[in-house]
Amino acid sequence: MVAHPRSAPAIRFLDEEAIRPLLHLEDLIPAMERALIDFSAGRVVHPVRSIVPVTEHHGFMGVMPAVYGDVMGAKLVNFYPENISRGIPTHQAVIALFNGETGEPLAMMDGRLITELRTAAVSGVATKLLSAPNAKSLAILGSGVQARSHFRALSLVRKFDDVRVWSRNPENAQQLAKEIGAKATPAEEAVREADVVVTVTGSPVPVLRGAWLKPGALVNAVGAVGTKNRELDDDAMRGAVIVDSREAAMKESGDILQSNAKIYAELGDLLAGTKPLPQAEITVFKSLGLAVEDLASAKLVLHALRIGAG
């Protein structure tokens, strides 16, 4: 008898509202920790993302593929900074998931919410590992989507009783401060004596000066996208610099490239204990975002829906 190929199942598309109740920061933080360890240990096929410029609209499309265990896939993410003036998110994305054993498509997912949450979860991993266990004060430079998600994620790993917010838009800073029970202040006042600092501004020029940082502070540097933008000045980059991907950082990070900062380690190496924790006055975690983080997040959604992988 001739074996006939089985018919391909319908590919499910999950929009943001379908994903939201299935994806939780409490689950994402340990999932990101495992993914980063696997990445740095070489257990992930992971090319550096390709960037396709969309010069006419001052944006770009990033193509982010990876193979991670029983799944493989890619995120297509568009960054359009001028969307702020349109009242829509600057990041737009979709994630395609495939069975790693057979190559069969499993699902398509909206990637905006996944990007938002996994980015904050990775900063949560870094903060849990690299900040002082008794850290109490948090400074957030920025007032958008990532500012809110970072407050939620970091509050799961540290108990902050003093939170200060600054934004290039003072009204937005006041609104965020009201939402999360924080205080809106000038940038320097927000950073002074803060145990943990988050930069999520999207600013093309430095908004954080190293002279403001207290000894022992951790900076989660998230907002600068591309080689031409940076949020931290040279002084802020003088300490131990930790990255999610060394290869990507040397190609994509304006904060690192423009300051000629030396990378101490990948976060996954520190998590696995293959390199000791830094002993520096200031520690900076430069977050770029990796495809493996998106796949690990999407796997949580698949499992919640009992969509098979492997």
Domains of the chain with bracketed CATH: 14-114+292-303 (3.30.1780.10), 121-290 (3.40.50.720)
Evaluate if residue 39 carries a pLDDT over 60.
Answer: yes
72 - beta bridge partners?
67, 98
Taking residues 111-134, report their average pLDDT. 97
For residue 120, pLDDT over 90 is answered with: yes
Q: Which two tokens stand for residue 18?
A: 């379908």
Mean pLDDT of 235-240: 96
Does pLDDT of 306 surpass 60?
yes
The C-alpha atoms of residue 186 and residue 204 are separated, in whole angstroms, by 19
Does the pTM of the predicted model rise above 0.85? yes
Q: Which helix (H) or strand (E) holds 138?
A: strand 137-141
Q: pLDDT grade, residue 239 (50/70/90)?
A: very high
pLDDT confidence tier of residue 5, bands split at 50, 70 and 90: low
Contact indicator for 244, 220 with CB cutoff of 8 Å: no
Q: Which range is least confidently modeled, 6-10, 113-117, 141-145, 220-224?
A: 6-10
| Apex 118 CA angle, 114 and 124, nearest 5 | 155
Residue 305 and residue 148: Cα distance in Å, rounded? 27
Closest C-alpha among 116, 121, 94, 93 to residue 107:
94
- Percentage of residues in the chain having pLDDT higher than 90: 87
Looking at residue 116, its pLDDT comes to 96
Helix axes 112-130, 291-305, angle to 10 degrees: 110
- Residues facing residue 286 across a β-bridge: 221, 243
pLDDT at 70 over 60: yes
**Percent above pLDDT 70 for the chain:** 96
Residue 308: pLDDT band with limits 50, 70, 90: low
Count other C-beta atoms under 10 Å from residue 180's C-beta.
17
Element (H, E) at 251: helix 246-252
Tokens matching residue 86 = 């349109």
> Given this model, what pLDDT does residue 158 score?
98
Q: For residue 132, what are its two tokens?
A: 């002082």
Mean pLDDT of the chain: 94
Model confidence at 310, pLDDT cuts 50, 70, 90, reads very low
What is the C-alpha separation between 103 and 180, in angstroms, rounded?
Answer: 44
Q: What is the largest CA-CA distance in the chain?
A: 77
Distance in angstroms (rounded) separating the CA atoms of residues 163 and 63? 36
- Whether 40 has a pLDDT exceeding 50, the answer reads yes
Amino acid code (one letter) for 237: M
On the question of pLDDT at 162 being above 50, the answer is yes
Torsion angles phi and psi, residue 60, rounded to 5: -155, 160
Q: Which residues contact 199 (CB under 8 A, 6 or more apart)?
A: 141, 142, 207, 208, 219, 220, 221, 222, 223, 224, 231, 232
Please check the confidence at residue 3 and state whether its pLDDT lies above 60: no
CB atoms within 10 A of CB 134: 8
- Round to whole Å and give the CA distance between 70 and 90: 31
Average pLDDT on 145-156 reads 97
pLDDT at residue 9 in the model: 64
Instruction: Determine the pLDDT at residue 8.
Output: 59
